[in-house]
């Protein structure tokens, strides 16, 4: 589960530790979806970072280096990470987790992670559902739900989640 610690910040898999801890995420050069983000665990003071593939976290994906130093790739689905979803794979190409964007039902049939949220399925069978707060993950944040666990919240910093960053409370 530790290999997915950094992945947890964006995919919504941060259910592994105490509810009092939090992670602080800061966008690099005020643009997470172009340059990536830095992660700081405010409890352990561990650090991780994310770098966009060819400066394009929207269409290509990102490399994550976890607090333990392991690196893995999040590859965008054909329609883009925030429209269709992404897969997290290790260096050997093994699938670690898969995220798929939700749609807004019959009224809004197109999928959009940053409006309707996403569902994450880990290779070990764990599933998390992420819902955008007020249908606005960009400016408000998201709620993470996992069967049998209390909801966890990611709140955007004042400038917006993908401009300034967010804080994950779990």
Nearest C-alpha neighbor of 170 from the set 1, 40, 15, 7: 15
The confidence score (pLDDT) of residue 107 equals 86
Confidence tier at 123 by pLDDT (50, 70, 90): very high
What is the model's pLDDT at position 108? 86
User: What does the alpha-carbon distance between residue 75 and residue 58 come to, in Å, rounded to a whole number?
Assistant: 10
Which residue has better confidence, 132 or 3? 132
Q: Which two structure tokens, joined as six digits, stand for 128?
A: 């998390």
Record the pTM: 0.85
Helices (H), the chain: 7-11, 32-35, 113-116
d(CA 34, CA 46): 23
Interval 25-80: pLDDT, tens = 999 999 999 999 999 999 888 999 999 999 999 999 999 998 888 899 999 999 99
Number of other CB atoms surrounding residue 144 within 10 Å: 25
Average pLDDT of every residue of the chain: 88
Residues β-bridged to residue 51 = 63
- Cα–Cα dist 38/112, whole Å: 24
The answer to whether 140 touches 133, Cβ cutoff 8 Å, is yes
Residue 114 CA to residue 73 CA, distance in Å, equals: 20
Q: Could you report the per-residue pLDDT of 98-117, keeping only the tens digit for each?
A: 999 999 888 888 999 999 99
**Residue bearing tokens 């643009």:** 31
CB neighbour list of residue 89: distance below 8 Å, 6 or more residues apart: 72, 73, 74, 75, 95, 96
């Amino acid at each position: 589960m530790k290999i997915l610690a950094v992945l947890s910040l964006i995919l919504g898999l941060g259910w592994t530790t105490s509810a009092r801890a939090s992670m602080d995420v800061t966008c690099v050069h005020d643009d997470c979806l172009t340059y990536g983000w830095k992660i700081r665990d405010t409890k352990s003071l561990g650090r991780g970072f994310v770098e966009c593939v060819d400066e394009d976290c929207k269409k290509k994906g990102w490399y994550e280096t976890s607090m333990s130093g392991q690196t893995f790739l999040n590859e965008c689905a054909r329609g883009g990470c925030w429209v269709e979803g992404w897969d997290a794979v290790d260096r050997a190409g093994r699938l670690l987790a898969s995220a798929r964007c939700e749609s807004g039902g019959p009224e809004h049939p197109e999928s959009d992670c940053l409006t309707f949220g996403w569902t994450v399925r880990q290779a070990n069978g764990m599933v998390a559902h992420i819902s955008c707060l007020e249908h606005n993950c960009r400016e408000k944040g998201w709620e993470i739900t996992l069967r049998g666990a209390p909801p966890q919240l990611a709140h955007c910093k004042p400038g917006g989640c993908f401009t300034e960053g967010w804080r994950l409370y779990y």
